[in-house]
Chains A and B, each alone.
Chain A
Amino acid sequence: MTFFLQNLVNALQWGSFYALIALGYAMVYSILMLFNFAHGDIFMVGAYIGFGMATLLVALAELGAVSPPGWLILVLTIIISMFLTSFLGMLVERVGYRPLREAPRASAAITGLMIGIILETGNLMLLGAQRVRFPRLIESTTYDLGGVFVTNKKIMIVLVSISLMVALHQFVKRSKWGMAMRAMAFDYAVVPLMGVSINKVAQLTFAIGSALAAAAGILFGIAYPVLDPYMGIVFGWKAFVAAILGGRGSIMGAALAGFLLGFIEIFTAMIFPSTLRDLIAYSIILLILVFRPHGFFGEDYSARLRL
């Protein structure tokens, strides 16, 4: 039982990365009906921006001979990096997606893919091929809860990601911009007639998605402090699968599917040899899609597809 609980905790942490990234995919997909294949690399860039910010803030603190608490630096890092990365998201939308809004959807997927490659290569050119270490901002303490070991980092990661998801949910459900987003997801063609700018909503969508990806990147850097330029590929494609598994454009669904993917991966690695992880995880996903072709929360939208 403790063994199970221990893995449950690990899976929660692992799944929260997927869930945060999947949210970005799901939002873009629901509003513009496009795959944002650059999103995995935006996650990577977000992690690197976080790394840069954290290093900078630590250096500044040393320069000013003050020693702020680690959590303060961490909070600042997360906020500033989310802010900066959201601009990257808007840039990606402006360059790769807006000119192609009337084009076949697949063409936009290709530009996304290519922007992803450019981001990876650009990072490689700027920082070189060696991996970088994310600075240690908070000391790790381990709590023993009846045989289940939980670190403060794990608690923090899960709490931060869940609160971000709740905040997003509230934003989409309550705010005016959120209403515009939902309207666009409901009917893309009518929204401009109501005086809502598609471009602005699209930019906002990309910005929020990228900010969440940046948060995921920093949380990932805290848990596994080694970053490399290609880390976005594996995470990105898996989170993409999770986003679709959740159901078309369902934000709740994407988050839940992200956690589910985390659970599947951790538990298959626990029971079987870990080399079988991808094989079993993807086979389970394939089976789920066979029986629920529209994902968990998706509805049939075949009549509205535009290509």
Chain B
Amino acid sequence: MIMTSITNSGWWVKLKRFCAPVPLLGWLLGALGAVILEHIAGDPFSELLGLPKIPVLFGALVMLKKPLLIPSVLLYVLVIYGMPPALVGRLFSGLANRAAEKLLRFSKPFSVLIHLALLYAILHTWSDLSAYRLLTLKFTLIAVMLTLSLNVINGYMGEFSCSHPGFMALGAYVASTFTLSLFVNDRLFGEALLPAGLGPFLFPVALILGGLVAALGALVVAIPSFRTRGDYLAIISLAFMFIVKSLFENLEIVGGPRGMGSQPNWANLPTVFVWTVLCVWIINNFVRSTMGKALNAVRDDETAADAMTVNTRKTKMVGFLFAAFWAGVAGGLFAHVLRYINPGTFGIQRLAEGLAMVYFGGLNSVYGSILGAVSLSFLSEALRPLEILKWIIIPLLLILVMIFRPTGLIAFKEFNVGNLIKPKNTAPIED
């Protein structure tokens, strides 16, 4: 009801009409303009407005800490972040449309690459201004990977898995052990075996190894739980999560409950960005493939899917292991971003966080996972000044979303890159 009243009101229609002719390329260029503007004019402008420094997270932190500064922060956000996209997007929409069309005619992969490069440039410029932004951005990207992989199980497959923190822990520990033992002199594993210069090149190997071990762990869960339909995956995966956590607590060789630290700083923004893009790309292709459609069929009606010659057990196994692999990779990246892990990091709280992101964003949808991960990561950082009240607001928000949109904000929507990058208001182009 609230939604329809918003979508029918005058300013919403106006905004929609204003945005309609701008292609994604235009928005990206506008956003790039915004972050460059912030780079150049952010400091003097915030000084002019009486702000202590550049508002780090779009002013959310400053507004909550000092309510008196709200008008200046709003002005800052409007001028720095609002104007350039609006101006560039609107004024050059014809140009951007033609450029997008040319790119798409030239080659679709090339066009996608250009878009991604622009996106990276925006993120890089934005996060360049403070270390806090950079860290938040990296964790957000990792959260996108985790949410998406959990969505494969809980959304596309329709099971309820609780073992994601366990897979993440497996990936994190394996990748950390790999890098620490081979390339770093540290207290747990002693001398480095290989020169440290080789490390960044072998870092993907560490991540993939972590992912594979996580998938192996998933096999332990999958074999018993997919013999029967029902809620046994929920319970076996929960037990698995506790087992993994307890296992690492008792393994003195990886630091026991004290955990392991000083991982090499190889998970810089380009690395995390590339892995996130890879993850989104591969998972999106997976869920749109025959296998992904089989997953959906199994979710909707296992008996009917079986009758349609879908090998249900194998389908579920593959989906589960695939998701676990990406959780493991995300865990490896997480360990190298935070550069410290202990078993307590991968407990119930992380599970609640992951589930919240999946169900907030929307089941069965790549858009939803990205939205859920980004908005909840951002929200939990932005509400930090409220301290403990944050843990009332976020759960309340989730309960409301669940009540009014039980499958999440953007559920059951296909992520079509071709549609996303095509120019607006022009004749459709043949592939």
Is the CB–CB distance between B396 and A282 below 8 Å?
A: no
Is the CB–CB distance between A293 and B228 below 8 Å?
A: yes
List chain A residues, Cβ under 8 A from B359: 106-107, 110
Does any Cβ of B come within 8 Å of A59's Cβ? Answer: no
Which chain B residues numbered 221 to 252 have a C-beta less than 8 Å away from chain A? 224-225, 227-232, 234-236, 238-240, 242-243, 245-247, 249-250
Does any Cβ of A come within 8 Å of B398's Cβ? Answer: yes
Is the CB–CB distance between A237 and B250 below 8 Å?
A: no
Does any Cβ of A come within 8 Å of B276's Cβ? Answer: no
**1/0 per residue A234-278: CB within 8 Å of B?**
000100110011001000000000000000000000000001111
Among the listed stretches B27-35, B173-181, B332-340, B387-395, which one makes contact with chain A, having 4 or more residues with CB under 8 Å of it? B387-395
Docked complex Cα distance between A105 and B246 (Å): 29
Known: A107-B359, A276-B246. A237 touches B392 (CB 8 A): no
Does any Cβ of B come within 8 Å of A125's Cβ? Answer: yes
Does any Cβ of B come within 8 Å of A286's Cβ? Answer: yes
List chain A residues, Cβ under 8 A from B228: 293-294, 300, 302
List chain A residues, Cβ under 8 A from B243: 278-279, 282-283, 286
**Of the candidates B246, B247, B388, B399, which one forms a contact with A111 in the assembled complex, judged by CB atoms under 8 Å apart?**
B399
List chain B residues, Cβ under 8 A from A245: 235
Which chain B residues numbered 192 to 247 have a C-beta less than 8 Å away from chain A? 224-225, 227-232, 234-236, 238-240, 242-243, 245-247
Is the CB–CB distance between B403 and A114 below 8 Å?
A: no
**Of the candidates A110, A117, A290, which one forms a contact with B224 in the assembled complex, judged by CB atoms under 8 Å apart?**
A290
Is the CB–CB distance between A307 and B402 below 8 Å?
A: no
**1/0 per residue A83-116: CB within 8 Å of B?**
0000000000001100110011111111101110
Is the CB–CB distance between A118 and B395 below 8 Å?
A: yes
Is the CB–CB distance between B229 and A103 below 8 Å?
A: no
**Of the candidates A100, A109, A113, A244, which one forms a contact with B403 in the assembled complex, judged by CB atoms under 8 Å apart?**
A100
- Chain B minimum-CB-distance residue to A276: B250
Does any Cβ of A come within 8 Å of B154's Cβ? Answer: yes
Which chain B residues numbered 273 to 316 have a C-beta less than 8 Å away from chain A? 299
Is the CB–CB distance between B391 and A121 below 8 Å?
A: yes
Does any Cβ of B come within 8 Å of A285's Cβ? Answer: yes
List chain A residues, Cβ under 8 A from B396: 114, 118
Known: A237-B238, A241-B235, A285-B239. A111 touches B398 (CB 8 A): yes
Is the CB–CB distance between B239 and A241 below 8 Å?
A: yes
Does any Cβ of A come within 8 Å of B97's Cβ? Answer: no
Known: A111-B402, A115-B395, A117-B395. A244 touches B231 (CB 8 A): yes
Docked complex Cα distance between A244 and B225 (Å): 13
Does any Cβ of B come within 8 Å of A289's Cβ? Answer: yes
Is the CB–CB distance between A100 and B406 below 8 Å?
A: yes
Docked complex Cα distance between A286 and B244 (Å): 12
List chain B residues, Cβ under 8 A from A122: 392
Does any Cβ of A come within 8 Å of B342's Cβ? Answer: no
Docked complex Cα distance between A302 and B399 (Å): 29
Is the CB–CB distance between B230 and A302 below 8 Å?
A: yes
Q: How far is the CB of A165 from chain B (nearest CB, A)?
A: 22
**Of the candidates B160, B225, B363, B395, which one forms a contact with A109 in the assembled complex, judged by CB atoms under 8 Å apart?**
B160
Size of B's binding interface in residues, CB under 8 A? 44
Which chain A residues numbered 19 to 67 have a C-beta less than 8 Å away from chain B? 35
Docked complex Cα distance between A95 and B356 (Å): 18
Is the CB–CB distance between A286 and B240 below 8 Å?
A: yes
Docked complex Cα distance between A183 and B291 (Å): 40
Is the CB–CB distance between B348 and A233 below 8 Å?
A: yes
Does any Cβ of A come within 8 Å of B127's Cβ? Answer: no
Q: How far is the CB of B54 from chain A (nearest CB, A)?
A: 31
Does any Cβ of B come within 8 Å of A194's Cβ? Answer: no
List chain A residues, Cβ under 8 A from B238: 237, 240-241
Q: How far is the CB of B399 from chain A (nearest CB, A)?
A: 5
Is the CB–CB distance between B246 and A278 below 8 Å?
A: yes
List chain A residues, Cβ under 8 A from B225: 293
Docked complex Cα distance between A110 and B405 (Å): 13
Docked complex Cα distance between A118 and B250 (Å): 32
List chain B residues, Cβ under 8 A from A240: 235, 238
List chain A residues, Cβ under 8 A from B355: 109-110, 113
- Chain A minimum-CB-distance residue to B249: A275
Is the CB–CB distance between B239 and A293 below 8 Å?
A: no
Q: How far is the CB of B180 from chain A (nearest CB, A)?
A: 23
**1/0 per residue B344-357: CB within 8 Å of A?**
00001000100110
Known: A118-B395, A279-B246, A293-B227. A113 touches B236 (CB 8 A): no
Which chain A residues numbered 140 to 184 have a C-beta less than 8 Å away from chain B? none
Known: A114-B356, A283-B243, A293-B232. A103 touches B407 (CB 8 A): yes
List chain B residues, Cβ under 8 A from A110: 355-356, 359, 398, 402
Known: A286-B224, A293-B232, A294-B228. A114 touches B399 (CB 8 A): yes
List chain B residues, Cβ under 8 A from A248: 230-231
Is the CB–CB distance between A111 and B391 below 8 Å?
A: no
Q: How far is the CB of A123 from chain B (nearest CB, A)?
A: 11
Is the CB–CB distance between A117 and B391 below 8 Å?
A: yes
Does any Cβ of B come within 8 Å of A1's Cβ? Answer: no
Binding site for A on B (CB under 8 A): 154, 158, 160, 224-225, 227-232, 234-236, 238-240, 242-243, 245-247, 249-250, 257, 299, 348, 352, 355-356, 359, 363, 388-389, 391-392, 395-396, 398-399, 402-403, 406-407
Binding site for B on A (CB under 8 A): 35, 95-96, 99-100, 103-111, 113-115, 117-118, 120-122, 124-125, 233, 237, 240-241, 244-245, 248, 275-279, 282-283, 285-286, 289-290, 293-294, 300-302, 305, 307
List 18 interface pairs A-B (beta carbons < 8 Å), by A numbering: A99-B403, A100-B406, A103-B406, A107-B359, A114-B398, A115-B399, A117-B395, A244-B231, A245-B235, A275-B249, A276-B246, A278-B245, A279-B246, A282-B239, A283-B243, A289-B235, A293-B227, A294-B228
